[in-house]
Amino acid sequence: MYRFLIIFLMLSLSCGEHKPEPTMEIQKNKKVVIAHRGASGYLPEHTLPAKAMAYAMGADYLEQDIVLSRDNVPIVIHDIHLEMVTDVAKKFPKKKRIDGRFYVIDFIFEELKQLNVSERFDPVNDKAVFPNRFPVFTATFKLHSLQEEIEFIQGLNKSTGKNIGIYPEIKEPEFHRKEGKDISKIVLKALNEYGYKTKKDNCILQCFDAKELKRVRHEFKSELFMVQLMEFKSDEKLEEIATYADGIGPWIPQIIKGKDKNGKWQITSLVANAHKLNLKVHAYTFRADQLGDFDSFEDLLQVALYEANVDGIFTDFPDKAVAFIDKKE
C-alpha cells in the first residue's frame, strides 16, 4: 500500500500547474474536480492510497463519505453497510443483523480496523461491480477515520505547498438518529477541531437530507460552504435551498437529457436557474467506464462543463477530468 503513496506523492511534487492559493477553489470561478471517493476508478474507494492518487492527479477536492462507528468515530466509507467493500462476512460472521447485512455502527473502531477493504463487489457472487477496475481483494487496504484522512490531506498540503480541499458528506442522518447518534454534531466537531469552520476554509459539506442541512446551518450555526445533494428533485425548490445552502449537487440526468432529432444534447434549466440564485452546481458521478449514450468521456465532460455550464464534477477519474479542463482553459 505504501508504495502507492510514495509513487503518487512523487508525481504530485513533480506537477507544477496547480499552485497554492489562499482561497477555496470554489471561490475562483474555475471548473473544479472533486475526486469521488478518491481516485476510485483506479484503486479501492475511500482508501488512503486512492486519496493519495487523487491528490497527485490534481483534484481540487477529495470527497469523504462519513458513517459513525459504535464508539462514535466518524468512519470514511460510502455506505452504512460493510459487506460490499470489506471482508466483514469472514472476519465477523456473527455480527450480521437479521436483514443479512453488516452495519458499520455495530462495530467499534478497533474492530473496523481489522477488516480488509476491497474494490466494490457483489457479496452474493463476489464479482466486481466494475470488472475492469482494481482486482477484488488484491493488495492490502484498510478503513480509516475522518480525522486520519484530514491529517493526511493537511499533511500533504504542508509538504507539497498545495491547498487541496475536503468535501465531506454526512451519510443517512435519520438512520443514525434512530440508532441514538447525532452524526452531524460529531462531524462538525471534528471539522472545527481541524480548522474547518467558515466559507473561507477549504471545506464543502454535503448531504442529501435537506432537514439535516438546515439543522446544520440554523441549529448548529455552521458557516461552512454547504451543498444540497439532489437525487430526483427538480429545480422547483431551488429558492428554498438558497436560504440555507451555497450550492446543489444534482445527478447527471437532471442536467442533461437525451438528444433531439438533430442529435444535439438537451440541457435542462436546472443549472441556469441555480446560478440565478448564486448557487454553485457540482454534478455527479462522472465515470469513464460508465458513459451511457455518450461517445466518450471527453464528450460527456464537454457537454456537462461547457454546454450545461456546471461549476464542478464528482468523478472516479480525476486525472482525465483535470487534463480535459486544463486543455480547455
Active site (catalytic) residues: 36, 78
For residues 149 and 155, what is the distance between their CA atoms, to the nearest angstrom?
Answer: 10
Contact 96, 103 (CB under 8 A): no
Closest CA to 204 of 176, 179, 227: 227
Q: Which three cell numbers stand for residue 97?
A: 443483523
E-only strand ranges, 135-251 = 165-170, 204-207, 225-229, 247-249
Q: Classify 38 in phi/psi space as left (phi over 0), alpha (psi -120 to 50) or beta.
A: left
- Count CA atoms closer than 13 A to 152's CA, side-chain side: 23
- Count CA atoms closer than 13 A to 64's CA, side-chain side: 28
- Distance separating the N- and C-terminal Cα atoms of the chain: 34
For residues 33 and 3, what is the distance between their CA atoms, to the nearest angstrom?
Answer: 25
Other Cβ atoms closer than 10 A to 128? 16
CA of residue 203 relative to chain centroid, distance: 12
For residues 136 and 85, what is the distance between their CA atoms, to the nearest angstrom?
Answer: 9
Other Cβ atoms closer than 10 A to 263? 6
E-only strand ranges, 139-179 = 165-170
